Amino acid sequence: MLYFSVPLGKLVRRVSRLRGGGSALPGLVVEKIDPGFMQRTLSALPLGVAVVSGTNGKTTTTKMVVELLESQGLKVFTNRTGSNFTRGVAAALLGEVDWRGRLDADVAILELDEAHAVHFVNKVPPRYSLLLNVLRDQLDRFGEIDKTAELLQHIASKTTGTVVLNREDPRVARIAATLDGPDVLYFGLDDSLLSTFPNDDDMRAAPGSPVPDAPARPAADVVLRRVGVDDASFEFDGATVTTPMLLRGVYNIFNAAAALTLARAVSAARGTGTDQPGLVAALSKVAPAFGRGESLVVDGLPLELVLVKNPSGFRLGLKSFPAAGYATMIAINDNYADGRDMSWLWDVEFDTLRDGGVDQLTGSRAYDMALRLQYDDVAIGAVDTEIAPALAAFIRGGQGKPKRIFCTYTAMLAIRRELSKITTVEVVS
């Protein structure tokens, strides 16, 4: 079956690309005709498989881990297409294996959607897992956040080597107590930054309500000590290192601590030592992932795309990217990939937009967003549920000013398609 399934899968992949089809289709085909393809291929990797999962930050964190490990001379396979389902992994494998199904890599670093990661780890137990956070995101898909925590716990339970956990997220940190076998490492925050990253329970607590006693926090392998305008300080191995950062947004910088923790663990497994300065140098050069805080150029000025998926992410986005001096647009869709339940918008405080207002609102839930902004006394320039004309009007009206667009996932995809007609936009196939 091996010598038949791989050529057929590659053929489907080539035809699908020519016809503009979805990147996961070849993976679906090979899963049907050769169910053992993914497990057989990945199990041959010398350093095994690392799974990155959680509600927010998977794509950027995976990109960071890949680039950090490549700086150590490792050959890394990853699902660069952004398809974080199992068939997306299989499709990505088809693009990398030779005609005999052999993969030239030392390790696989895979971004996986929480629910689909459960199915993946049942087939391919990972040697490493990195679990980022549990936030209210797409509740209509996964149910309550405790259910999402259970999915992450299952991923951890199937991990054979090292589990990396977010020390500051109580639902993630408590997974450690359920494990019997894998080593556990943590990434964490300096005390001065804790209020910047409220967990889901903190955000839902009534103002003035008593704060329950928190358990003692375990020691972390990497701690984010400080976030500057264009640099950050991390502590590991008893020393604090400050490095410039191309990544913007405090949430991305915290995820950099997560990426450092996993990269250090994987690199150490080689037994040949880790080039710690090389890791830090590589981290300083990581650019934002597809649609995650990337900056494009329109009319000679930057246009930044900031992906927002839940109240914590939107709050951190507003805090990371001050509104002063920027033309601002918000694009909110409620398609399946965004999550249908947009009630979380009411848990975001938009007072930082009050001085300059919002120039343009768009997306299928533009009027819901307009109502929310009115309650925070934020002036609105225009509302148009159709993204293409709204974006065109926003660019015309904001001439001479840098621009920023806060957008949900499918709105971001639509905006990037429109922007590709007038500026250079990275194409992710």
The residues carrying an active-site annotation are 341
Closest CA to 71 of 294, 290, 288, 285: 285
pLDDT at position 154 is 96
pLDDT at position 116 is 84
pLDDT at position 195 is 85
pLDDT at position 29 is 59
pLDDT at position 155 is 97
Domain 2-205+214-284 sits in which CATH superfamily?
Mur-like, catalytic domain (3.40.1190.10)
Average pLDDT over residues 388-413: 92
295-419: CATH class: alpha beta
Average pLDDT over residues 237-249: 92
Q: Which contiguous run of DSSP H or E holds residue 233? A: strand 231-236
pLDDT of 138 strictly over 60: no
Between 423 and 155, residue with greater pLDDT: 155
Average model confidence (pLDDT) across the chain: 84
pLDDT at position 19 is 42
Average pLDDT over residues 354-382: 95
d(CA 308, CA 251): 11
Average pLDDT over residues 227-256: 92
pLDDT at position 247 is 86
Q: Which contiguous run of DSSP H or E holds residue 415? A: helix 409-419
pLDDT at position 299 is 82
pLDDT at position 426 is 52
Partners of 242 in beta bridges: 233
Average pLDDT over residues 242-270: 93
Where along the chain do its domains lie? 2-205+214-284, 295-419
Q: Are 162 and 127 in contact (CB under 8 A)?
A: yes
pLDDT at position 9 is 47
d(CA 67, CA 335): 32
d(CA 12, CA 300): 41
- Inter-residue long-range contacts of 236-239, CB under 8 Å, 24+ positions, other chains counted: 236/260, 236/264, 236/276, 237/276
Average pLDDT over residues 24-28: 57
Per-residue pLDDT tens over the stretch 275-295: 999 999 999 999 876 555 567
Question: Mean pLDDT lowest for which of 159-163, 273-277, 377-381?
Answer: 273-277
Indicate the pLDDT class of residue 74, thresholds 50, 70 and 90: very high
pLDDT at position 14 is 53
Between 301 and 82, residue with greater pLDDT: 301
Ramachandran angles phi, psi of 345, nearest 5°: -60, -25
Q: Confirm whether pTM is higher than 0.95.
A: no
Residues 6+ apart with CB under 8 A from 143: none
Per-residue pLDDT tens over the stretch 179-237: 998 999 999 999 999 988 766 555 555 555 554 555 689 999 999 999 988 899 999 99
Q: Which amino acid appears at position 38 of this protein?
A: M
pLDDT of 347 strictly over 80: yes
Indicate the pLDDT class of residue 28, thresholds 50, 70 and 90: low
pLDDT at position 143 is 55
Per-residue pLDDT tens over the stretch 86-131: 777 877 887 787 777 788 999 999 999 888 899 899 999 999 999 9
Per-residue pLDDT tens over the stretch 291-328: 555 678 888 888 888 888 888 788 888 887 878 889 99
pLDDT of 352 strictly over 50: yes
Per-residue pLDDT tens over the stretch 56-71: 888 889 999 999 999 9
pLDDT at position 428 is 40
